[in-house]
Amino acid sequence: MRTTTAALAAALLTLPLVQLPASGDAVSGPPMGWSSRSLGCSVSEASVRQAADALAPLAPAGYRHVIIDDCWLAAQRTGGALAPDATRFPSGVKALADYLHGKGLKLGLSLSAGTKACSGGGPGSYKSETADAEQVKGWGVDYVKYDWCNIPAADFPGQNVQQIAQTLYPRMRQALGDAIAFAMNNEDGSTVPWLWGKDAKATTWRTNVYNKPISDSYSNMVDIWEFNQLRAEYAGPGSWADPDLIQAGRGGMTDAEYRTQVSLWAVGASPLILQADPAKAPPAIVANPKVIAVDQDTLGVQGRFVTSDGWYHVLAKPLANGDQAILLFNESDRAATISTRLKPARYRVEELWTGAVTTTAGDLAAQVPAHGSVLYRVGVSREQAPPAVLVETDPATGPGEDHLSVLEPGVEREVVTRVTNTGGTDRLRDVEVALAVPEGWRARARTATRTGRLDGGETFTVKWAVTPPAAAELKDYEITATAAKTAATAVVKVARAPGSGRTYLSDLPWTRVANYFGPVEKDTSNGEKAAGDGKPITIEGVKYAKGLGAHAPADIEFYTAGRCSTVEFQAGIDDEVGTAGSADLEVWADGGRVAHSGVVTGAQPARKVTASVKGATYVRLVATNGGDNATSDHADFADASITCQ
């Protein structure tokens, strides 16, 4: 939902502000602001001023840099000097800088270390570093993003990419001086900027290992964060690791996923640079002052892993006043309980997204939503507050379980809730548990819902009988347990297992699906990117009326509830790609592969696959690449069927 500038201002007026340096001072923490990247070469003076007007209400929270990311330069220098594109920036750079400074904002420009800019065709700063630096300083520019494009490697015989970068970046940094923030945007990981960025006096340096900007997707964001964590030892005050832009407001992730990105970036002491239109960036996510205070903490330290098993992560960041920021991050697809233990003491614990304050003698734990995080500020304190409480709704039965619990329409199933006095600083009294379910559902307690006392470390368990309506839509739902002023929400799936007898899989709803290009199609080939653009499934001239058309790599999952015995299909590459393409078509029963076709190509007839899936709760049809590129891997599960009791 679009948030107006007035609403942003009203929201921020209710929040304590982050202490900021004066407008003309150099940055004292990781830079914060907005980048024009999404505008590409449509960027203009008018669009930048519009973005600045929308960003101004966020300036008290720290968002002050307005960064023009390429496409601002004229194609040629004027009298040897850089010049803005006269059509798109008719008033010039200095006038724009003055406009921003009048709003308490700062101007950032991109330049290139090579002979040309990365985009837009303008000149690079190679061999003009001193003159260009003086020019941007004269314009009143506060921040330079120095790109790694069009580098004349032939001018550096016998030197590798890192050595060339270590020559060119310090030239510009020295020419600019320390009063301008200097962002080394050498996205090409071959320059390994984390090894020498601090010595080059870079304000920030990129941490990815391939030349590709962040996308507005959860999986890509997590991949980039993981690379960033590998560089933690090299970051520090005044020279911070830069994992790329904040995505909140663009619409590709959930609010929980956007909060997770902001939390990860804050604990990482990373720049908080918005990519979305500032008017669309939700202030509740991007402008939480207590989260920003963690990012901008004057100690300037990047958080490190306390524990991590690949899915569930605990990170800690020391803060200047002796507190710690503790982040619990659940990377998996199902809510999970994540815990950690501090040295024995009495701690004040504040959850920074909700503001809840509790105490603990050292134990911290929370049920963290899928793709979600919980961010605490923890410090030794004698403050009186209730003990920390862990509430769990439908907890996983084992480590690493990432499937949602399944309820079938009209069928009663047991759901467990647990309450634990994790804080241990006081006894909990008169604890009562309530379970909220969707409208039309039934929830009946099978065991007592109240206990008179709960001492430190003790757990109170309630078992519930939960029944969705017989006509419930097959989708995901939330159920929430509440106890001791603490709530925990679990997502459960309503699904229906196949009926008895033989059923075509294309007639059943899947529970999860992934496909390389376009959607998986039912009863047609994959076609191209659009839904419904496939053709009749055809393998070596043989047409099939039923089946699934995929593009490897692909993964299609069905809920089978342990009631099915056999999966069968004809495996092949669809004739729509000619003789090209290759794939291996597999059947997985729960966590193990039980059958596969072997590699089939576009020049081969269909190959029959029969798999035993007896007792499996989930069955997956998987298509993997045959060893070449994936361009033509249109994998057909022709006549795919399942036999159940």
pLDDT for 211 equals 64
State yes or no: pLDDT of 17 exceeds 60. no
Structure tokens at 343: 């040295």
pLDDT for 540 equals 97
| CA–CA dist 130, 111 (Å, integer) | 13
pLDDT for 19 equals 47
Q: What is the mean predicted confidence (pLDDT) over 542-561?
A: 98
Lowest model confidence (mean pLDDT) among 97-106, 204-213, 267-276, 498-507: 204-213
pLDDT for 591 equals 86
**Banded model confidence at residue 11, pLDDT cuts 50, 70, 90:** very low
| CA–CA dist 637, 635 (Å, integer) | 7
pLDDT for 398 equals 80
State yes or no: pLDDT of 12 exceeds 60. no
Q: What is the mean predicted confidence (pLDDT) over 541-548?
A: 98
Three-state SS at 337? strand
As a CATH number, domain 401-495 is 2.60.40.10
CB contact set of 155 (below 8 Å; sequence gap of 6+): none
Assess contact for 206 and 232: CB atoms under 8 A. Answer: no
pLDDT in tens, 23-79: 344 588 999 999 999 999 999 999 999 999 999 999 999 999 999 999 999 999 999
What region does 193 belong to: left with phi over 0, alpha with psi -120 to 50, or beta? Answer: alpha
Domain ranges of the chain: 30-298, 401-495, 501-644
Query: Percent of the chain beyond pLDDT 70?
Result: 96
pLDDT for 185 equals 94
**Banded model confidence at residue 536, pLDDT cuts 50, 70, 90:** very high
pLDDT in tens, 590-637: 989 999 999 999 999 999 999 999 999 999 999 999 988 888 999 999
State yes or no: pLDDT of 372 exceeds 50. yes
Q: If you write DSSP's letter for every residue of 516-579 in order, what string do you get?
A: SSS--EESS---SSSTT----EEETTEEESSEEEEESSEEEEEE-TT-EEEEEEEEEE-GGGTT
pLDDT in tens, 394-438: 999 887 788 999 999 999 999 999 999 999 999 999 999 999 999
How much is the mean pLDDT over the chain?
94
Tell me which H or E stretch contains 176: helix 161-176
Q: Are strands 143-147 and 106-112 parallel, antiparallel or unpaired?
A: parallel
Q: What is the mean predicted confidence (pLDDT) over 482-506?
A: 97
| CA–CA dist 244, 375 (Å, integer) | 21
Which residues are bridge partners to 548 per DSSP? Answer: 522, 637
As a CATH number, domain 30-298 is 3.20.20.70
| CA–CA dist 105, 97 (Å, integer) | 9
pLDDT for 110 equals 98
Angle between helices 161-176 and 129-139 (to 10 degrees): 40
| CA–CA dist 255, 167 (Å, integer) | 42
pLDDT in tens, 336-370: 999 999 999 999 999 999 999 999 999 999 999 99
Which one, of 514, 554, 540, lies nearest residue 635 by Cα?
554
Which residues are bridge partners to 641 per DSSP? Answer: 504, 568
| CA–CA dist 226, 231 (Å, integer) | 9
Assess contact for 516 and 562: CB atoms under 8 A. Answer: no
Cis peptide before 553 (omega within 30 of 0): yes
- Total Cβ atoms within 10 A of residue 480: 15
pLDDT for 498 equals 97
What region does 589 belong to: left with phi over 0, alpha with psi -120 to 50, or beta? Answer: beta
Q: What is the mean predicted confidence (pLDDT) over 17-22?
A: 44
Q: Which CATH number fits domain 501-644: 3.40.50.2000, 2.60.40.1180, 2.60.120.1060, 3.40.50.880?
A: 2.60.120.1060
pLDDT for 628 equals 85
**Banded model confidence at residue 641, pLDDT cuts 50, 70, 90:** very high
Q: What is the mean predicted confidence (pLDDT) over 117-121?
A: 92
pLDDT in tens, 212-246: 899 999 999 999 999 999 999 999 999 999 999 99
Q: What is the mean predicted confidence (pLDDT) over 545-556?
A: 98
Which residues are bridge partners to 182 per DSSP? Answer: 144
| CA–CA dist 104, 83 (Å, integer) | 25
Q: What is the mean predicted confidence (pLDDT) over 500-509?
A: 98
Q: What is the pTM of this model?
A: 0.92
pLDDT for 629 equals 84
pLDDT for 13 equals 35
pLDDT for 208 equals 82
Q: What is the mean predicted confidence (pLDDT) over 261-268?
A: 98
